[in-house]
Structure 1
Amino acid sequence: MIHLPTLPKITRFIHKSKHDIGLAPDELVFRGQKKTDEVVIRVIDFDTETLLEEKLITVEDVRQFKNDNTVTWVNVDGLHNTEIMKDFTSVFDLDTLVMAEVLNTEARPRVVEYDNCDLISIKMLRVDDTTGKTIVENLSLVLTDNVLISFQEQKGDVFEPVRERIRMQKKRIRNGKVDYLAFALLDIVVDNYLYVISVLGEKIETLEENLLINPNQKVINEINNYKRELNFLRKSVKPAKEMIFSLAKTDSDLITAGVYVHFKELEDNISQANDAADDYREILSDQLNIYHTTISSKLNDIMKFLTVFSVIFIPLTFIAGIYGTNFEYVPELSYKYSYFVMWGVMVVVAIGMLLFFRRKKWF
């Protein structure tokens, strides 16, 4: 049984701090929320034969891998320490614009080519196994000649399958360069888009069954909640699609021709995620229309029922009103069975009108 994640509540779709207004584009200021107390730097260095995996103390410790012939993956958890980010700028001779972009967690997904590196930014979705909530954080990848640096907002990610492939000496990733490693990470990110959307889609499809059986206020509240959650996902998926399509068209010296083929695969997967999000959005709109149509139909049935009985009792009330008048001379008063005749006329009128309405298929 799939555990359905609960997506976070959305207060707004864009956040801009007043303190960020007027800052220079290359100002190394953390623009985001602090999500971890400690900045953790982990490194995996490998080639076809060797593998080194360890936790580093300082950024300076990364310098030893800078000019090696191996592929080095440096993963940084936590972005709030600007001094550490300055050290990365110094060790890898990066443009300050690169690190300024990394520190801006509200930035739109993008790919930018610099003189000695490429920057890829994308939103990463993952489901917390303990709470079931979907966590969204900004992921930045900095590609250099033989080092890939991934920057995340907090510890814990979805990249463990990639690490396992490296440890298990999978041929393609161990023979590849940093560009293929970057593809492997982006592939995991996009796969999680598909997973989160599919889980939400399962709830939407289940809701459609309940909608037809028992439409009520609880159903309409769930529809509105799912629309909000889906809009939240689309906020990450649509810009990511634009970024990946741009990435597949770049002419970077750091990306080999063989890896561009894999980026085409990413285009297909992100398009599938985007199309699924759009499809479920249309389904929710259709469900909303079905709800209102069903409620209107039920209301019409109720009004039809009440109208039929109202119309039936109008002539009966008329007859009763006549016999309830207080005239001194009423011919029927002297007739012994007048009371029963009155009831007979009323029953005949009621049955006749019911048969007439039934023949007209009014109810």
Structure 2
Amino acid sequence: MLWILMPRPKVHEYVNCIFLSIKMLQQDEHTGVISVENLSIILTKSILISFQEKKGDVFEPVRERIRNQKKRIRNYGTDYLLYALLDIVVDNYIYIISTLGERIENLEESLLLDPKQGVLEKINGYKRELNFLRKNINPAKEMILNLSKMESEFIEDRNHVHYKELQDNINQAIETSESYREILSDQLNIYHTTISTKLNDIMKFLTVFSVIFIPLTFIAGIYGTNFEVVP
């Protein structure tokens, strides 16, 4: 996982444009490493300018829609194009959380069958990854909420419904991350409970062992003493 300090997502309306920035997450399909970069966008009535920190094809579906002359993305203005870009960003949030969620759910079987130290390390590792995702996604919710409530000449009334949909999607991402956070807490409790149960079983065995052999040790100790007359 790549940890980078970046500006908080924000949106500002100026006289001739709207400026916004949001954190964009991408996951490497081979290594599973999550990278984060800052996406900045300038929106005017007729122009949309986006700034990425590195080259990538995350917005290729939007480019493909433009190349295929899709009516809505061609005719609904730059504010709809802004929605399409942000929708890709939020969809990536949901995809990455879902991928992590699958690994968290698959951990439950190992937790019940063989709760070794490695399982605890995985739980703690997933907690760190999830906290990293939540740290980057939660501020984006506030930015999207402000954008959807914004009464601006740069956003047409007919496109407000799409921004409401975007708000629902970011809420879904946050709610999903919260549910997996609770699952990890439950798994951690199950791990400690299972380990405690195994420790209690070991103590029971040692207690039974002691009950059998301590009297024999006591007797051997007595008869190992030098007596003039053996009792």
- Is the pair's TM-score, using the shorter chain for normalization, greater than 0.5? yes
Alignment of 1:168-187 (within 5 A): 168-187=68-87
| Aligned-pair CA distance for 1:130 | 5.6
Whether contact under 8 Å (1:139, 1:152) holds in the other structure is yes
1:303 to 2:203 alignment: yes
Change (3 A) 1:262 1:324: same
1:156 to 2:56 alignment: yes
Q: Which is richer in helix?
A: 2
Structure 1 segments of 4+ aligned residues over 6 angstroms from their partners: none
Deviation per CA, 1:76-133, whole angstroms, max 9, x where unpaired? xxxxxxxxxxxxxxxxxxxxxxxxxxxxxx2111111110000121111122346542
Change (3 A) 1:329 1:269: closer
Pair member with larger Rg: 1
| Higher RCO (C-alpha under 8 Å, 6+ residues apart) | 2
Whether contact under 8 Å (1:126, 1:157) holds in the other structure is no
For structure 2, the residue ranges without an aligned partner over 5 or more in a row are none
The one-letter code matched in structure 1 to 2:210 is: S
Give the TM-score of the pair, scaled to structure 1: 0.60
Alignment of 1:5-154 (within 5 A): 7-8=1-2, 10=3, 15=5, 106-129=6-29, 131-154=31-54
DSSP-derived class of the 1:145 partner = coil
* Corresponding residue number in structure 2 for 1:328: 229
| Aligned-pair CA distance for 1:228 | 1.1
Distance in 1, matches of 2:107 and 2:29, equals 24
Change (3 A) 1:113 1:281: same
Distance in 1, matches of 2:92 and 2:164, equals 18
**Which among 196, 204, 218 is matched to residue 96 of structure 2?**
196
* Corresponding residue number in structure 2 for 1:166: 66
Number of residue equivalences = 230
Change (3 A) 1:266 1:298: same
1:209 to 2:119 alignment: no
1:226 to 2:126 alignment: yes
For structure 1, the residue ranges without an aligned partner over 5 or more in a row are 1-6, 16-105, 331-363
- Provide the aligned C-alpha RMSD in A: 1.8
| Aligned-pair CA distance for 1:267 | 1.1
Deviation per CA, 1:198-221, whole angstroms, max 9, x where unpaired? 101111111121111111111111
Give the TM-score of the pair, scaled to structure 2: 0.92
| Aligned-pair CA distance for 1:134 | 2.0
The one-letter code matched in structure 2 to 1:278 is: E
Percent identical among aligned pairs is 67
DSSP-derived class of the 1:146 partner = coil
DSSP-derived class of the 1:122 partner = strand
* Corresponding residue number in structure 1 for 2:152: 252
